[in-house]
Structure formats: structure tokens, C-alpha cells
Amino acid sequence: MKSATDTKKDSLTPSQHIDKAIKDLPDWRGKLLARLRKLIHDASPELTEDWKWDTPVFACKGNVVAIGAFKDHIKLNFFKGAALADPKKLFNAGLEAKASRSIGSV
């Protein structure tokens, strides 16, 4: 049986979930999450916000990038990152994965 908190949580839009995630992280992680959200929208305004796996996900005809907030770092996961050129070697996680690549900060 769902609690009142679960029911309220389920009624939030993806954008509201992301707003809440930023608010619930009052330290550097919330600020970085907000900054990355803006950068993603500035770079690709056609991307829509989604909330999957308790994580902000940005999509256009499928998942493009997710932002994971962890205790000591933020991670950007590009779902088709293996298909992207990376001449500056920004990807530093998931390098063995067949499709995705990640950039993690500390």
C-alpha cells in the first residue's frame, strides 16, 4: 500500500521531481545539478525532462543523458556515449560499456 508521501511523489511532473532534487541537495551537488540542467537545455532545447530511476533524464526520441547525484560526486551518463567522439578524453567511466559512457566529477 502506498503512503501519502509516495502518492504525492507520484503526482509530481518530471520537472517538479528535478526541482525537488535540486532543493533537497542544498550543497554543491544541488548547485551543480541546476547548472548542468541549464547547460543541457541551452545546448539542446529540444530535449525534454523525464524522471526515471529517481534520476533526472533528458530525452528526445529516446534517452540522451541522465544526471546522477551521489554522496561525493555527480555523474553524467550519456546513453549513446560510445558513438560520440571524445578527443579530449572527457569520458572517465563506463568505458567498457557497449553503448553508454559517463563523466563523473569529484
Inter-residue contact 38 to 48 (CB < 8 Å): no
pLDDT in tens, 64-104: 999 999 999 999 999 999 999 999 999 988 888 889 999 98
Per-residue confidence band for 8, with pLDDT thresholds at 50, 70 and 90: low
pTM (2 decimals)? 0.84
Per-residue confidence band for 9, with pLDDT thresholds at 50, 70 and 90: low
Classify residue 61 by burial, with Cβ atoms within 10 Å: 0-12, 13-18, 19+.
exposed
Closest by CA to 77, choosing from 40, 27, 23, 35, is 40
Residue 59 pairs in a beta bridge with 48, 63
The answer on pLDDT for 54 being more than 50 is: yes
Classify residue 75 by burial, with Cβ atoms within 10 Å: 0-12, 13-18, 19+.
middle
